[in-house]
């Protein structure tokens, strides 16, 4: 390879990018997971003197957040019924209006307006508007920053989910959590650095593509944490191994593997010996992390854990906080799974659908923000709320209140992790159909997340297929400075 060292250049060798990753971000990530032959092969510096990945201190002077909790409202919540107050829209309820839309039904020139089905009020010192869907969350607005002007590239679930999770419409690219762990590594060796909690109704469509590591090593993909049974696949030793026998097995393996390694010059063998011990520790650490018996009644009440309606999401929100406390970098919590009204995809009866999903999540999410704050964790935990897109101001069908998908404009909010509270940026038009002022692409959200973690979104790259691949794409993207404290 030639000696090129200019940054911001489309393409370095794998060796070079690892070198930069080693100097710039964290060491744990790659050094921890790649076999030494890979490192031998790819990461010796140009003069061959030093492997830059081993033992470099993590240096992130700009980091505001240590962890991210992404509350994914799968299916696409309606912005005009939740946080994007459009007073005009109430007046046009039932009237047919020319307003272009693009959803699963394709492009339309206009349609029957469905007025917002909930009343809006101002809350907090900042006076942000919140609909009656979120009576609890409404009291947290002084900690939240609303972005009313997001837009995404696809109004279809399949590609829309990939867009929001992986930055691309085309399948095969790593998800945000993989990027974060690639850049930062995990602070906790006993737990995965990237955890996904799904709705009890099932996964979102695309399944594992939503937490894939794409062309990065599989060890960077999201690990599902279950709230029932063993939290992680194969974590629980089977009955015949539980208690003593597993220790005996591990001791025996350690003895045999040590004798085997001693006759060989292959550091990866030592690495695998350590992995067995780490796995053993994980068996204890992960159940401890998900053990809610340690939570006092006040916390249970705060999240709504004992209310059947909010129980499921409350449990996941408490777990998210516990994982943050244990150094897990990126946690994604899905609200909604499967198909149709099992998620926020309100094509039919808007009131039924959104009442259901907001009702299940309002108190748990408010509890999470409150709890993080009272523990002093909100400052270093970035919370993101939103779906893969929003919904249209018009009705999808001749009858009913259902709204079709809308990726031309939708609201998401962020809180904590160095985000300003009580602000709102961007605007949709008077009907809430399209972002028109201070528009932000999904890439800007991704850039903001990486930036708050101390990573430069336009520099964090992974060399693959002849390109310096980035989460924010070759176009690059700026963080949303207006909401950064």
Partner 1 sequence: MMTRSAIVAVTLGLLGPVRGQQTEPPPWAEVRTILEQRCLECHGRDRVKSEFRLATAETFRRGGARGPVVDAQNPERSRLLEVISYRDPDLAMPPTRQLPEAERATLRAWVLGGAPWPEDEPGRLADPHAFTEDHGAKDQNPRDWWAYRPLSADDPADRSEPHAIDRFLGRERDRRGLGVTAQADPVVLLRRATYDLTGLPPSREESDAFHAAIARDGFDAAWATLVDRLLESPRYGEHWARHWLDLVRFAETNGYERDGTKKNIWRYRDWVIRALNEDMPYDRFALEQLAGDEIAEHAPELLDHGVLGSGPLIATGYYRLPVWDDEPADRKQALADELADVVDTTAQVFLASSVGCARCHDHKADPISQKDYFAFTALFNNVVSYGGDGFGQARGGGMVRNLADEPRHDQIPVAERNRRVAAIDKQLEPFLAALRGAVDASKDPDSITLVADARDENSPNWKYKQGGAPNRWPSPGFDDSKWKSARGGFGTKGTPGAIVNQLWRGRRINLRTRFALTKIPKSLVLTFYHDEDIEVFLNGTPVFSRKHYRVDYTEVQLPQAAVDALVVGSNVVAVSCRQTGGGQYVDVGLRTGWLDDEIAARVRLGVEGERWIGDERAAEARALLAKRDHTRNLPVPNAYPALTARERGRTAKPQHVMLRGSAHALGDVVDASVPVVLCSTDGAPEPSVPEPAADATSTGRRLAFARWLAADGAAVSSRVMANRLWQFHFGRGLCRTPGDFGRFGEKPTHPELLDHLAQAFIDRAWSLKAMHRYLMTSAAYRMASTGRDDGLAKDPRNDAYWRFDPRRLSAEEFRDSVLAVSGELNNKLYGPSVYPPLPQEVRATASRPGAAWGNSAPQDAARRSVYVFVKRSLRMPLFEALDQPDPDLPCSERFETNVPTQALMTMNGEFVRDQAASFAASLAEATDSRRDRIRLGVERALGRTCSEGDIARHDAFMARLRTEHSMDERAALSLFCLALFNLNEFLWLD
Ranges within 385-424 binding partner 1 (CB under 8 A):
407
**Which listed residue (276, 307, 397, 425) binds partner 1 by CB under 8 A?**
276
Binding mask 322-361 for partner 1 (x = CB under 8 A): ---------------xxx----------------------
Q: Binding to partner 1 by residue 54, rule CB under 8 A? A: no
Dihedral of CA 459/462/467/471: which sign?
negative
Find residue 70's DSSP bridge partners: 332, 384
Kind and range of the H or E element at 298? helix 297-303
User: How near is the Cβ of 153 to partner 1 at its closest, in Å?
Assistant: 6
User: How near is the Cβ of 204 to partner 1 at its closest, in Å?
Assistant: 6
**Which listed residue (23, 55, 255, 288) binds partner 1 by CB under 8 A?**
255
Q: Binding to partner 1 by residue 221, rule CB under 8 A? A: yes
Q: Are the beta carbons of 28 and 220 closer than 8 angstroms?
A: no
- Taking the least distance from each CB to partner 1, the nearer of 86 and 403 is 86
* Angle subtended at Cα 155 by Cα 152 and Cα 159, rounded to the nearest 5 degrees: 80
Distance CA(469)–CA(179), nearest Å, equals 11
CA end-to-end span of the chain: 42
Distance CA(457)–CA(56), nearest Å, equals 21
**Which listed residue (431, 445, 449, 483) binds partner 1 by CB under 8 A?**
431
Token output for 144: 């939240």
Q: Binding to partner 1 by residue 11, rule CB under 8 A? A: yes
Ranges within 97-136 binding partner 1 (CB under 8 A):
97-99, 102, 104
Binding region for partner 1 (CB under 8 A) out of 76-84, 120-128, 238-246, 354-362? 238-246
User: How near is the Cβ of 165 to partner 1 at its closest, in Å?
Assistant: 13
Q: Nearest Cα to 61, choosing from 443, 456, 331?
A: 456
Q: Binding to partner 1 by residue 41, rule CB under 8 A? A: yes
Task: Give the CA distances from residue 423 to residues 120, 373, 415, 420, 442, in Å, rounded to whole numbers and listed in that order.
Answer: 17, 18, 10, 7, 19
**Which listed residue (241, 292, 299, 484) binds partner 1 by CB under 8 A?**
241
Ranges within 153-172 binding partner 1 (CB under 8 A):
153-160, 162, 169-172
- Taking the least distance from each CB to partner 1, the nearer of 46 and 351 is 46
User: How near is the Cβ of 310 to partner 1 at its closest, in Å?
Assistant: 21
Token output for 181: 């762990």
Q: Are the beta carbons of 366 and 321 closer than 8 angstroms?
A: no
């Amino acid at each position: 390879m030639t000696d090129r060292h200019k940054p911001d250049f489309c393409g370095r060798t794998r060796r070079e990018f690892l070198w930069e990753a080693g100097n710039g971000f964290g060491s744990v990530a790659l050094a921890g997971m790649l076999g030494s032959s890979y490192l031998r092969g790819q990461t010796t510096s140009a003069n061959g003197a030093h492997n830059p990945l081993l033992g470099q201190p993590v240096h992130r002077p700009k980091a505001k957040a240590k962890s991210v909790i992404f509350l994914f409202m799968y299916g696409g919540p309606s912005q005009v019924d939740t946080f994007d107050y459009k007073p005009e829209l109430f007046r046009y309820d039932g009237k047919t209006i020319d307003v272009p839309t693009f959803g699963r039904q394709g492009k339309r020139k206009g349609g029957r307006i469905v007025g917002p089905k909930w009343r809006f009020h101002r809350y907090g010192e900042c006076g942000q508007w919140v609909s009656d869907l979120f009576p609890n969350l409404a009291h947290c607005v002084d900690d939240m920053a609303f972005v009313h002007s997001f837009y995404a590239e696809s109004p279809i679930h399949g590609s829309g989910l990939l867009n929001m999770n992986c930055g691309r419409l085309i399948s095969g690219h790593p998800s945000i959590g993989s990027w974060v762990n690639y850049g930062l590594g995990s602070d906790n060796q006993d737990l995965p650095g990237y955890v996904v909690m799904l709705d009890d109704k099932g996964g979102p469509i695309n399944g594992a593509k939503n937490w894939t590591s794409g062309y990065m090593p599989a060890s960077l993909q999201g690990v599902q944490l279950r709230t029932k049974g063993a939290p992680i696949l194969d974590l629980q030793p089977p009955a015949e191994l539980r208690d003593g026998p597993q220790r005996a097995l591990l001791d025996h393996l350690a003895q045999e593997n040590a004798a085997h390694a001693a006759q060989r010059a292959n550091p990866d063998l030592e690495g695998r010996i350590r992995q067995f011990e780490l796995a053993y520790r994980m068996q204890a650490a992960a159940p401890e992390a998900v053990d809610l018996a340690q939570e006092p009644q006040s916390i249970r009440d705060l999240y709504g854990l004992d209310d059947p309606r909010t129980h499921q999401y409350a449990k996941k929100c408490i777990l998210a906080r516990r994982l943050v406390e244990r150094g897990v970098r990126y946690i994604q919590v899905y609200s909604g799974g499967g198909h149709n009204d099992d998620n926020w995809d309100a094509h039919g009866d808007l009131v039924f659908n959104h009442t259901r999903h907001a009702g299940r999540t309002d108190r748990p999410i408010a509890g999470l923000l409150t709890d993080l704050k009272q523990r002093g964790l909100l400052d270093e935990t970035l919370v993101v709320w939103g779906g893969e897109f929003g919904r249209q101001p018009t009705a999808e069908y001749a009858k009913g209140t259902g709204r079709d998908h809308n990726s031309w404009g939708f609201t998401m909010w962020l809180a904590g992790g160095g985000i300003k509270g009580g602000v709102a940026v961007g605007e949709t038009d008077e009907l809430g159909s399209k972002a028109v002022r201070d528009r932000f692409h999904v890439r800007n959200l991704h850039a903001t997340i990486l930036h708050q973690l101390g990573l430069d979104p336009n520099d964090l790259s992974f060399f693959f297929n002849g390109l310096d691949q980035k989460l924010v794409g070759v176009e690059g993207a700026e963080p949303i400075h207006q909401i950064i404290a």
